Amino acid sequence: MNKYKDYLMKEVPQLLEELKPNHRRRFGLMSAQHMIEHLIWVTKSSVKEYGDPPSELTEGQLNFMKFIEKGAYLYHRPSDKTKDDLPALRMPNLQQAIDTVPEAIDRLYGYSADHVFFNPSMGRLTFSEMERFHYMHFKFHLQHQFGLGLY
């Protein structure tokens, strides 16, 4: 098992055991439940089948592909958004959201290692690039934003 899969399949569930509804975030607006629902949505939607990529990718898709290729290091970028800009919660509570995370991760690992994904926002990514993105995305929110596993 590679470090990305090991983190997503083994470490993430362990880290989520630390997360509480009133968990203090280090930055950003999302509550713990908003963050988990965000991770679920991004993971599931990023690996959804969108068909074949167009012959010409957009500038945004090409930039995202370069971002992934360079290592996908995520950092907090403050914005002028407020809590009113957060989407409504979709699940009744944090625990139900946490219980849905493995399903989202399993969706990624339902594809073979030679699969190439196409996503309208992300462009064309190999399986290993998509895996690296999700590793960095989960790590950013769980460890950097909410400090899980750091204490």
Any idea where the domains of the chain sit in the sequence?
A: 3-15+34-50+58-76+88-145
| H or E stretch at 119 | strand 116-119
Pull the structure tokens for residue 14: 């362990």
pTM for the whole thing?
0.92
Pull the structure tokens for residue 65: 């592909």
pLDDT in tens, 53-90: 788 889 999 998 888 888 877 888 888 999 999 999 99
pLDDT in tens, 16-28: 999 999 999 999 9
Q: Give the count of alpha carbons within 13 A of 8, CB side only.
A: 26
Is residue 126 helix, strand or coil? Answer: strand
Average pLDDT over the chain reads 92
136 with 74: CB under 8 angstroms?
yes
